Amino acid sequence: MEPENPFRYGAPVEAASFCDRSEELAALTARMRNGIHAFVLSPRRYGKTSLLLEALRRFRKEGGRGGYANLLLCTTEAEAAGVVLTAVAREVLRPIGRTKRSIEEVLEHLRVAPQVELSPDGKVTFSLQPAVGADRWYDMLEDAVGLLERAGERRPAALVLDEFQQVAEIGPKGLGGAFKALADQARGTSLVFSGSRLSVMERLTRGRGAPLLGMGETFNLEVVPEDEMSAHLVGRAKRGGKRLTRADARTLYRRADRIPNDVQWLAHAAFEAADEVIDAEAIEAGLAAIVRRQAGFFAERFESLAPSQQRIVRELARSPREKVYAKAFLDTVMVANANAVTTALRTLAEQEIVRREGRQWRLASPFFRAWLLGQLEA
């Protein structure tokens, strides 16, 4: 019987699959416990949501009431209000949503009557009709935070607002100012704002006029350190019945550009490719398998770029660059001036195709880079 693959990628991981960020976990859990607002910022695939869910798990284990609202799919203020109220009702006020009486208790505290849906497994979802939501969405948000605050009177309460960048620019003024006003009301409770589009999140939290400036502590997630991640990989491989040396774990870590999700993805593919030992050959075979399976997606993504963007991406695939405004680079990518490079890099960064690490620009995905290098060498 084939052993179960112990590596997880592509979705938040919990429990044994979570690579312990002990310092960040302890600090974030403490902020939740003490009713302090926080911001968690990181590029996508760095394990942000895994960290948030693990912090919530520990917070709840300590007796706290913790809710999680993913705002990624919200496109209007009313949708955001419904997601937040649902998160408060489902998670913070558990077992709300399992009985008719508990739903009625929530409705008693709302100024706007929402639509209520109850799934077969007892989970409740609240939403606002568009005609009502256009004018009354703030009332629902305020009432949701009020419910959270009341829960916090009995025990610590916290609400995580993940992918907050999605709602930050909704509406004529965005929702940053609205949530600032709500956070000021939620005294003694913790609101944790999290986002992966760093340019948007930084506009909300930094600089003059930023709506959320000075409201809480900011956690900027970096990659998991090499020693910590390689030890985790060795342990997980052993759990799956295969051997991985610390040296080969470091090789795997570097081949995946140290990005937590991509390290786990490559480890998963290398585990599949290996017999009893995950060695350098299995790592390269795993990398080739990922690139082969993703080739169609990578081709479509490259073809969607403007010619100047394609040339910049090709050069960054060959090597990360620091001096992207130097004449030599401008000539190579056939771009007229530094302003054109700035515009192209900003667009590519927003599409999560490139990222800046320190002073260097590089491709955001090691697998996209490997695919592109293969095309250039063909």
| Residues 140-176 pLDDT 10s | 989 988 888 887 777 888 999 999 888 877 877 778 8
| Residues 31-74 pLDDT 10s | 999 999 999 988 888 889 989 999 999 999 998 888 899 999 99
Computed over every residue of the chain, the mean pLDDT equals 88
In this prediction, residue 17 carries a pLDDT of 61
In this prediction, residue 281 carries a pLDDT of 97
Rounded to two decimals, what is the model's pTM? 0.82
Averaged pLDDT for residues 296-322: 96
Residue 374 buriedness (CB in 10 A; 0-12 / 13-18 / 19+): middle
Share of the chain above pLDDT 70, in %: 95
Three-state SS annotation for the chain: CCCCCCCCCCCCCCHHHCCCCHHHHHHHHHHHHCCCCEEEECCCCCCHHHHHHHHHHHHHHCCCEEEEEECCCCCCHHHHHHHHHHHHHHHHCCCCCCCHHHHHHHHCCCCCCCEEEECCCCCEEEECCHHHHHHHHHHHHHHHHHHHHHHHHHCCEEEEEECCHHHHCCCCCCCHHHHHHHHHHCCCCEEEEEECCHHHHHHHHCCCCCCCCCCCEEEECCCCCHHHHHHHHHHHHHHCCCECCHHHHHHHHHHCCCCHHHHHHHHHHHHHHCCCECCHHHHHHHHHHHHHHHHHHHHHHHHCCCHHHHHHHHHHHHCCECCCCCHHHHHHHCCCCHHHHHHHHHHHHHCCCEEEECCEEEECCHHHHHHHHHHHHC
- Chosen CATH of 20-220 out of 3.40.640.10, 3.20.20.300, 3.40.50.300, 2.40.110.10: 3.40.50.300
> Is the model's pLDDT at 368 over the cut of 90?
yes
| Residues 278-294 pLDDT 10s | 999 999 999 999 999 99
How far apart are the C-alpha atoms of 163 and 74, rounded to whole Å? 10
Query: Where does 226-377 sit in CATH, by number?
Result: 1.10.10.10
Which residues make Cβ contacts (< 8 Å) with residue 246, sequence separation at least 6? 230, 231, 234
Which residues make Cβ contacts (< 8 Å) with residue 95, sequence separation at least 6? 102
* Backbone φ/ψ region at 10: left (φ over 0), alpha (ψ -120 to 50), beta: left
Query: What are the boundaries of each domain within the chain?
Result: 20-220, 226-377
